[in-house]
């Protein structure tokens, strides 16, 4: 039993080591507003702050910038399976990507710009877990070759 637990722990940490290279350090809305938040840190990293809209409620959502980790902080409680919208907390522009839908559940997706690196997009349905990081920068090209894309749970 002890042996088994140890194996699980090791495989988990190897995944974390691999994805740690793609922590998001900069993220912009389509209008160029900086979405990083220094006031709320997750794993000692600046969180990514977006405005979350659900029915008639809205609030701030601080997204965990570490891929493979899901410790997001939301001001609005969202039931699993519900679809939300994201907007820029600074200029109000919608972060919903009208040109794409989730490959898993067909819900709308959001996109954020990662300057000089690419973009990150993800499903807006709570609990869907289909999130894709599209990286364009050379430093992380290796990662793209290895996995094509990185799935992220939000
Ligand atoms: Zn903005
Ligand atoms: Zn989905």
* Predicted local distance difference test score (pLDDT) of residue 22: 61
- In order, the DSSP letters of 86-104 are EE-TTT--B-EEEEEE-TT
Whether residue 87 is predicted with pLDDT greater than 60 in this model: the reply is yes
What is the Å distance from ligand 1's center to 78 Cα?
Answer: 23
Return the SS3 of 39: strand
Looking at residue 92, its pLDDT comes to 98
Task: Give the three-state DSSP class for 28.
Answer: strand
Mean predicted confidence (pLDDT) in 77-89: 93
Which residue is listed with tokens 């722990």? 9
- Nearest alpha-carbon partner for 19 in 125, 123, 120: 120
**pLDDT for position 119:** 80
Average pLDDT over residues 86-95: 97
Where are any strands of DSSP class E within 1-154? 36-42, 45-54, 57-63, 73-74, 85-87, 96-101, 108-114, 118-123, 131-135, 150-151
| pTM of model > 0.85 | no
Determine the pLDDT at residue 94.
97
Mean pLDDT of 23-38: 90
The Å distance, Cα 85 to ligand 2 centre, comes to 13
What is the number of the ligand closest to the CA of 112?
1
Q: Which residue has the tokens 């570490």?
A: 66
Which ligand does the CA of 32 lie closest to?
1
Tell me, in angstroms, the distance from the centre of ligand 1 to residue 47's CA. Answer: 16
Q: Please give the Cα distance from 94 to 53 (Å, whole number).
A: 10
CB 149 within 8 A of CB 19: no
Number of domains making up the chain: 1
Domain that holds residue 46: 2-151
User: Which band of pLDDT confidence, cut at 50, 70 and 90, is reported for residue 121?
Assistant: confident
Q: Largest Cα–Cα distance of the chain, in whole Å?
A: 53
Say if residue 23's pLDDT is above 60. yes
What is the 105 CA–ligand 2 centroid distance (Å)? 4
For residue 122, give the ligand nearest its CA: 2
* CA 5 to ligand 2 centroid distance, Å: 31
Q: Which residue has the tokens 């999130």?
A: 131
CA 50, 92, 124, 138: dihedral to nearest 10 degrees? -70
Residue-wise pLDDT tens digits, 31-71: 999 999 999 998 888 999 999 999 999 999 998 887 667 78
pLDDT digits (tens, 9 = 90+) for 127-154: 885 555 555 544 444 444 344 344 333 3
Which listed ligand is nearest to 107 at the C-alpha?
Answer: 2
Task: Please say if the pLDDT value at position 102 is more than 90.
Answer: no
Q: Which range has the top average pLDDT, 78-92, 96-110, 115-129, 138-152?
A: 78-92
Terminal C-alpha separation, the chain: 31
Quote the ligand 1 centre to 86 CA distance (angstroms).
11
CA of 136 to the centre of ligand 1 (A): 22
Ligand closest to CA 124: 2
């Amino acid at each position: 039993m002890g042996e088994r637990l140890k194996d699980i722990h090791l495989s988990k940490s190897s995944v974390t080591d691999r994805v740690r290279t793609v922590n998001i350090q900069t993220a912009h809305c389509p209008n160029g507003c900086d979405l990083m938040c220094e006031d709320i840190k997750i794993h000692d990293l600046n969180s990514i702050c977006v405005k979350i809209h659900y029915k008639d409620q809205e609030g701030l959502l601080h997204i965990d910038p570490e891929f493979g980790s899901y410790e997001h902080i939301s001001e609005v409680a969202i039931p699993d399976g519900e679809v939300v919208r994201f907007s820029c907390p600074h200029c109000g522009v919608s972060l919903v990507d009208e040109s794409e839908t989730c490959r898993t559940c067909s819900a709308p997706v959001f996109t954020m710009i990662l300057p000089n690196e690419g973009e990150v997009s993800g499903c807006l349905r709570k609990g869907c877990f289909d999130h894709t990081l599209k990286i364009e920068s050379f430093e992380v090209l290796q990662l793209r070759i290895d996995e094509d894309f990185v799935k992220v749970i939000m």
